[in-house]
Amino acid sequence: MLQGCHGEGQLRDPDMKLVKPGSIFRLLSSMSIYEDDYVASILLAQRELFPGYLCGKFSPKVESEYGTSQPDLVLVDKRYRNWFVVEVELEHHSLRGHVEPQIRRLMNGIYTNAHAVDIHRCFPDASLHAIGRLVRSAQPEIVVIAPDMRPRWIPILKSLGATLMVFQVYENDHGERVYAVDGEEITRFEDHVIGTATRTTAMRTALRLSGVSEDDLSAGIDLLFNDELTRWKVVRAGADVLLLPRDRCPLPEAFTESYQITSVDDGTWRLESIGN
C-alpha cells in the first residue's frame, strides 16, 4: 500500500501512473469500479489503513432525529475504547443534498443492542459484552472514504466532526492492485489510555465505562482528577459498568461529556477530559 504525500486540498493527477519494472499500475476511476469491489479493496488493506482496529461490513438501518440512514463499514478499537461508522462515497454525490444529511444522521444515530449484535457478527471472536458497552456508552465517530480528494468537502465534514480519507485503487494489466492513501487519519488512542468514560443521561454524576477490562476492576477504584485523588464505586448494571463517586462528585457543573482513563508511570490511573 502506498501512502499519499499530497497536502490537504490538493488533487491527484488522474493520469498519474505507478511504475515498477515490468508493470504499470493505472488509477481506476470511480466510474470504472463497483462499490462492492471498492469496499472489498478497503477490507483487504484494513490492517494498513486502520491499525489497532477491527474493520467489517456494517449496513443496518440507523434511526435519528434527522431521518434514517445506512453506513457501509464499522471500525472497532481492539481494546474497545472507541468506534467509527464508515460512509463510502464512490459516486459524485452532492455534498449538501446527500453527503451532509447522511453524515448528520449517522452522527446523531440511535445505536442499540441490536447494532451491537450486528457488529459482533462481523467479529465473532470479539467480546459481545464489550462491544455492547461501547455502543451504549459512546456515539461513533464518522469516516468518509472517497476515491479522490474533494477540497470543498473538508470544512463541512470537519464542522460535522467527520474525517475524510482518500483511498485510490491502481491496477495493472494482470489485475494486480496497489493502493494509495491520502487525507486525514482516524483518531487513535495511545497505549497508556486504558479506556473511556461518558456521563450518563439518567444520572449526571455517574460515568459509563468502555474499554476498561473487568479484570482490572474491583468494588471501587481511585482516579486522579485535576491532580486530586477521587474515589469511585464500581457498579455493574447488566453488561454495563458504571462509576459512582463515593464522596462529592468531582466532575464540573459545566458538563463535560467524554473522558479517558490513562495509566501514569507509577501505576496510578488518571481521569482526563477529552471533549464537550
Mean pLDDT by 10 residues, the chain (276 residues): 40 72 90 91 95 96 96 96 94 82 94 96 94 90 91 89 93 93 86 88 84 80 92 86 90 79 87 77
Q: Which of 136, 152, 183 is the last residue before a domain boundary? A: 183
- Domain co-membership, 164 together with 247: no
Identify the sign of the CA torsion 134, 135, 140, 145: positive
Q: Which of 136, 157, 183 is the last residue before a domain boundary? A: 183
Cell of 231: 474515589
164's CB contacts (< 8 A; 6+ apart) are 144, 146, 150, 153, 154, 157, 183, 184
79's CB contacts (< 8 A; 6+ apart) are 52, 189, 195, 211
User: What is the model's pLDDT at position 255?
Assistant: 62
Give 183's strand partners. Answer: 165
Cell of 89: 462515497
User: Which of 9, 29, 26, 7 minimizes the C-alpha distance to 18?
Assistant: 26
Largest pairwise CA distance in the chain: 71
Q: Quick check: helix, strand or coil at residue 89?
A: coil
User: What is the model's pLDDT at position 275?
Assistant: 60
- Domain co-membership, 23 together with 105: yes
Kindly give the interhelix angle for 113-122 and 128-137, rounded to the nearest 10 degrees.
130
User: What is the model's pLDDT at position 5?
Assistant: 37
- Domain co-membership, 53 together with 176: yes
Give 97's strand partners. Answer: none
Please check whether residue 188 lies inside any domain of the structure. no
Cell of 141: 465517530
Kindly give the interhelix angle for 100-107 and 153-160, rounded to the nearest 10 degrees.
20
Q: Nearest 5°: CA angle at 211, between 210 and 212?
A: 95
Identify the DSSP state of 28.
P
* Domain residue limits at 265: 193-275
User: What is the model's pLDDT at position 200?
Assistant: 81
- Domain co-membership, 22 together with 113: yes
- Domain co-membership, 97 together with 11: yes
Q: Which of 158, 183, 208 is the last residue before a domain boundary? A: 183
- Domain co-membership, 171 together with 252: no
145's CB contacts (< 8 A; 6+ apart) are 42, 73, 86, 87, 88, 89, 165, 166, 167
Q: Quick check: helix, strand or coil at residue 224?
A: strand
User: What is the model's pLDDT at position 53?
Assistant: 96
Please check whether residue 73 lies inside any domain of the structure. yes
User: What is the model's pLDDT at position 11?
Assistant: 43
User: What is the model's pLDDT at position 211?
Assistant: 85
- Domain co-membership, 56 together with 171: yes
Whose grid coordinates read 502506498?
2
Give the chain's domain count: 2
